[in-house]
Amino acid sequence: MIDLTFALYYAALGIGVGFIAGLVGVGGGGLAVPAFTIIFTAQGIANQEVVHMALGTSMAAMIFTTFSSMRAHYNKGHVNTILATKMASGVIVGSLIATTIASAVNGVFLALFFSLFMLYIAYKMFQPNRQKTNLRPHKTVGNTIVGTLIGTVSALVSVSGAGMIVPYLMNQNFDVKHAVGTAATVGFPLALAGTAGYLINGWQHTSPGQLTFGYIYLPAAVLFSLTSYFSAPLGVACAAHLPAKSLKKILGILSLLLSLKMLMQVIENVSG
């Protein structure tokens, strides 16, 4: 059984990350992964594979939220189903490749890659958005290849990929609404494939008594999913009344700082 204190931590994390994700319109993987790593370490879960466990749990927690987001955008007619299907085939392959690689890589290197990725995301959040007409948009092969690359990176850092898919689709001459809606749709199969990959590749670490299955700690995934599902709409409702662009920059910096904290903690655990 999970300790009540840690159960409250996971529920509170879901509330906070869900609200922020709804508020600024980006996924919460940048916050969830380092937070899970820190809490798992305090709880004494998977000391040697704590980063792997954080990545897998974060990916599993995204299944419910990405499905809800996909359905909402589809009902609004903001999804290009043809392109979403092309990219989905790529992200599924990429996610499975990434989780296989991640299972064989030391947690320190995963934490380092995650920190570098968050540095890039923080940098991009301070750059102005520029959209130009692309006279030669990609076709099926190009979209599938890009989907594979995005799926690989997304699964390695356990994010929905929206931060990469939306700019790509806008470069493919999509308007913002359809870019966001299609990206949200691609995020669901990415979450499914990533979760399956972390489950299968980490199966030797399964401990039903501790409620860990592969690289997924079930209580954290469930509590985070449930609370973030209810808090995300509150963030969306507040978005019109708060400076979302400025908050997005703050989120980028916060994600970077948390990832660096995670990296330092993982290095300390290994050296200790």
* pLDDT single digits (tens) 203-246: 999 999 889 999 999 999 999 999 988 887 787 677 667 675 67
Q: Which helix (H) or strand (E) holds 1?
A: none
Instruction: Quote the CA–CA distance of 41 and 163 in Å, as a whole number.
Output: 28
- CA angle centred on 26, ends 124 and 138, rounded to 5°: 65
**For the segment 26-70, what is each residue's pLDDT rounded down to a tens digit?**
667 778 898 999 999 889 887 778 999 999 999 999 888 888 778
Position with higher pLDDT, 110 vs 248: 110
Give pLDDT, residue 130.
66
168 token code pair = 């790509």
CA-based nearest residue to 192, from 155, 224, 227:
155
pTM here?
0.87
Give pLDDT, residue 195.
95
**For the segment 183-207, what is each residue's pLDDT rounded down to a tens digit?**
888 989 999 999 999 999 999 999 9
Instruction: Quote the CA–CA distance of 88 and 255 in Å, as a whole number.
Output: 26
Give pLDDT, residue 114.
86
Is residue 118 scored above 90 in pLDDT? no
Question: pLDDT band at 9, cuts 50/70/90?
Answer: very high
**For the segment 129-167, what is each residue's pLDDT rounded down to a tens digit?**
666 677 778 888 888 999 999 999 989 888 878 778 888
Is residue 271 scored above 70 in pLDDT? no
Give pLDDT, residue 240.
65
Q: Which helix (H) or strand (E) holds 217?
A: strand 216-217
Do 248 and 27 contact (CB within 8 A), yes or no? no
Give pLDDT, residue 75.
85
